[in-house]
Structure 1
Amino acid sequence: MEFNNDDPYKRAQRKVKELKGFYAHATVYIIVNIFLVLSQMGLFSGNFHVGLPVWGYFTTPFFWGIGLFFHGLMVFKDRIPVLRNWEEHKIKELMDREEKEYKNTFKDDYL
């Protein structure tokens, strides 16, 4: 449940931009890591060598993959029920708390 005053076209446009960003991120991730694997296998040993230590070939995909995972969570959060329900629950909780504080403020003024 989103309380956004943007028009539907702008929301859709923003969502498409987020999706394009994620797909570009995933594409670059795949291309770079294929290159790293081929380099580690010695495909470029004749004329070209990256020169990374052995652990560098594994840490790059691992940590970059973690970043890509969280990027995907942010882009697709509306499709993941757990995240969507948590967000709706948190919004309701904060609104209820604010309403309670607001009522208590005026209640103290009249006593």
Structure 2
Amino acid sequence: METNNNEREQLEQAKKRVQEIKGFYGHLAAYVGVNIFFLAVNLLASPKHLWFFWPMLGWGIGVAMHGLRVFNYMPFFGKDWEEKKIRDFMQEEELQKNELKDQHHGKL
């Protein structure tokens, strides 16, 4: 029964991961498409003043951060960091429970 739950959990994690990757590629496609549109509008409307770089730069930072998070390249606050912190907190809580048990048993 536990193996079935573990496999189901792994399947759900895999599906979630695929959705995150699809979301990133959708974000990237929108970024490219909209910035091509901005470039065309900029060149047609005011070719001497190139302003399309600014939204491209700002949004590009967001796309880059999204990609770093999805592909787990962020050293801080990535999935590995979160999982490690969760394990650390769980271990700390278990140690505190054991210390309380030991103190309680020592008094009896």
Report TM bin, short chain: 0.5 to 0.7
Query: How do 1:39-58 residues align onto structure 2 when only pairs under 5 Å count?
Result: 39-40=41-42, 42=43, 44-45=44-45, 57-58=52-53
Establish whether residue 15 from structure 1 lines up as the match of residue 10 from structure 2.
Answer: no
The runs of 4+ residues in structure 1 deviating greater than 3 Å are 80-89
**Number of aligned pairs?**
97
- Could you give the per-residue CA deviations for residues 54-85 of structure 1, whole angstroms, max 9, x where no partner exists? 65x333222212221222122111xx495565
User: Residues 88 and 13 from structure 1, CA distance in 2 versus in 1: closer, same or farther, beyond 3 angstroms?
Assistant: closer
1:107 — aligned with what? 102
Residue type matched to 2:26 in 1?
Answer: A
Identity of aligned residues (%): 35
Indicate the structure with greater helix content.
2
Structure 1 portions without partners, runs of 5+: none
Please report how far the alpha carbon of residue 5 of structure 1 lies from its aligned counterpart in structure 2 after TM superposition: 4.5
C-alpha change, 1:54 and 1:104, in structure 2 (3 Å) is: farther
Distance in 2 (alpha carbons) for counterparts of 1:70 and 1:81: 8
Is the CA contact 2:27–2:63 (under 8 Å) kept in the aligned structure 1? yes
TM-score (norm 2): 0.65
> Which residue does 2:85 correspond to in 1?
90
**Structure number with higher relative contact order (C-alpha < 8 Å, ≥ 6 residues apart):** 1
TM score, norm. by length of structure 1: 0.64
Q: Where does structure 2 lack aligned partners over 5 or more consecutive residues?
A: none
| Residue 69 (structure 1) aligned with residue 71 (structure 2) | no
After superposition, the CA RMSD in angstroms is 3.1
Seen in structure 2, the aligned counterparts of structure 1 residues 13 and 92 have a Cα distance that, compared at 3 Å, is closer
